[in-house]
Homo-oligomer: A and B are copies of this chain.
Amino acid sequence: MENTNKIRIAVDAMGGDFAPGNEIEGIKLVYDANIEKDLEIVILGDETSIKNKLDSLNFHNKNISIIPTTETITMHDNPVAAVKQKRNSSMIKSIELLKEKKVDGFISAGNTGAMLTTSTLILGRLNGISRPSIGTMLPTTKPYPVLIMDAGATLDLQPRFLYEYAIMGSIYYREVMKIDNPTVGLLNVGEEESKGTSQLIETYNLLKSNPKINFVGNIEGRDILQGKTNLVICDGYTGNVVLKLSESLFYVLKDKMKAYAGSSIIHKIKAGIAAPILKEAVAGFNYEIYGGVPLLGVNGVVIIGHGSSSPVAIKNMIIAAITSIKNNICQKIEMAVNADKNE
């Protein structure tokens, strides 16, 4: 792992609900698609399970190595306790590799709270960043997704935190989505500058003060999925509710269709015709496309996945990590947030 020309990524094979199967199938998809020439992947987890899965796929590649670990941080583990008690877990060992610069990035579909806590404690924050943030991509009715920041890392609404989310998120969106000057909206209860609490008004003024942020003003709940802005800035409590409410849309519709189909034979036949069309129409609302979410503001590239991540989602998480590494996201965030401080 010393060759620094390579891109080296650690994959937590024990993270998701279908670990290590989906993780390893996802890695295979990355190599099958030949996404990055000089890519080295380090898989951390239970050695036997990992080898069995690699064998069953007949997937062997000289750029893949395994680091065996004996513990697993589960979805039920308390994040703070886990970081102390499960030092030999695949998650903590991966983050330590990143800290020691033996890898350039890390992905996991494991416990989000534990990812946040362990990454922040072990890697530390980037110089000038007050709080790390989890940014979540959601599909919109426009060609581009919306990046919600924060989606649950820091629940308090502090103007300086939200201002930093806008700086970090703008850089991430620009590099990953290849959009030059992404637009930023502040989530509020109305569009006027005077709307909201004193903290929201203070945030508005901070966002407006930095010409490097493409701030278009306040936006409302109805604007999020209609893609009015590329980024939506809010506190982590509200962002988390927005994310989970949006994710439930597909299930809400499915239930509504089921109730409709159950009301008569004619409705059942009609619903049978409509269901697959509806499914295709809302296919964009599929978390797999964006794969994972970045943990921004810590000193290293960390991508967090949904517990139920599919192989395609894992593949897209690895691609997001590669893009972040190649575009020096961390250095760019540090420069941007400190440039502003020195002005």
Chain A residues with a Cβ under 8 A of chain B: 140-141, 152, 155-156, 187-189, 196-197, 200, 220-226, 234, 236-238, 240-249, 251-253, 255-257, 259-260, 270-271, 273-274, 277-278, 280-282, 284-285
Contacts and interface: CB of A to CB of B under 8 A. Distances in A.
**How many copies of this protein are present in the complex?**
2
Given A237-B189, A260-B281, A273-B277, A245 B242 contact: yes
A226 B248 CA distance: 8
Nearest to A225: B252
B255 A280 contact: no
Given A249-B249, A256-B141, A278-B274, A241 B225 contact: no
A244 B271 contact: no
Contact of A156 (B141, B189, B197): B197
A189 B282 contact: no
A241 B190 CA distance: 10
Contacts of A221: 240-248
30 contacts: A140-B252, A141-B252, A141-B255, A152-B189, A155-B189, A188-B237, A189-B236, A189-B237, A189-B240, A196-B237, A200-B237, A221-B242, A221-B243, A221-B245, A222-B244, A222-B247, A224-B248, A225-B248, A226-B248, A237-B238, A238-B238, A242-B245, A249-B252, A253-B253, A256-B284, A259-B281, A260-B280, A260-B281, A271-B277, A274-B278
Contacts of A259: 141, 281
B244 A220 contact: yes
A149 B197 CA distance: 18
A273 B152 CA distance: 40
Given A189-B152, A196-B155, A259-B141, A226 B240 contact: no
A225 B245 contact: yes
Contacts of A247: 221-222
Q: Chain A at the B interface: mostly helix, strand, loop or mixed?
A: helix
Contacts of A257: 281
A188 B259 CA distance: 28
> 7 tightest CB-CB pairs across the interface, nearest first?
A221-B244, A141-B255, A221-B245, A222-B248, A221-B241, A274-B274, A260-B281
A175 B58 CA distance: 65
A277 B267 CA distance: 8
A127 B244 CA distance: 37
A275 to B, nearest CB: 9
B274 A245 contact: no
Interface centre among A226, A253, A257, A259 (most CB of B within 10 A): A253
A221 B242 CA distance: 7
Contacts of A242: 221, 241, 245
Contacts of A200: 155, 237
Nearest to A151: B189
Contacts of A189: 152, 155, 236-237, 240-241
Nearest to A237: B189
B241 A197 contact: no
Given A221-B240, A256-B285, 10 more contacts: A141-B256, A188-B237, A189-B237, A200-B237, A221-B247, A222-B244, A222-B245, A225-B249, A245-B245, A257-B281
